[in-house]
Amino acid sequence: QKEVEQNSGPLSVPEGAIASLNCTYSDRGSQSFFWYRQYSGKSPELIMSIYSNGDKEDGRFTAQLNKASQYVSLLIRDSQPSDSATYLCAVNTGGSQGNLIFGKGTKLSVKP
């Protein structure tokens, strides 16, 4: 059974701090990795993707991938109350027509 694990939280950080969200996956053959943000009552939206080991930065967001450790993380710098949402880690386990498996999400709360 291919699994994606996340700490459900809630993770609470003060405004302006760095929020660190973590995700581990079980299938060593996984090829691509994604972070989605879901506000309460809304649909998930893609915020980051990462395909190779290392860091990928986009504005205040940095995705980190370590395939040897089967670990993906998302860092949010200068956290804002508007970042308060559930963050879903998703892993593609099967190539071009693969299956996207989601973790259960980590709820982030940024306190003003």
In this structure, what DSSP letter does residue 82 have? G
Tell me the closest approach of the beta carbon of residue 89 to other proteins, in angstroms. 11
Find the binder of other proteins among 10, 58, 66, 104 (CB under 8 A): 104
Q: Fill in the amino acid letter for 110.
A: V
10 binds other proteins (CB under 8 A): no
Tell me the site size for other proteins, rule CB under 8 A: 25
Of the listed pieces 13-21, 45-53, 60-68, 71-79, which binds other proteins according to CB under 8 A?
45-53
CB atoms within 10 A of CB 109: 15
Stretch that binds other proteins, among 9-17, 44-52, 63-71, 76-84 (CB under 8 A): 44-52
* Cis check: omega of the bond before 10, within 30 degrees of 0: yes
Residue with tokens 């995705």: 63
> Hey, which residues between 49 and 88 contact other proteins (CB under 8 A)?
49, 86, 88
Which H or E run contains 33? strand 32-38
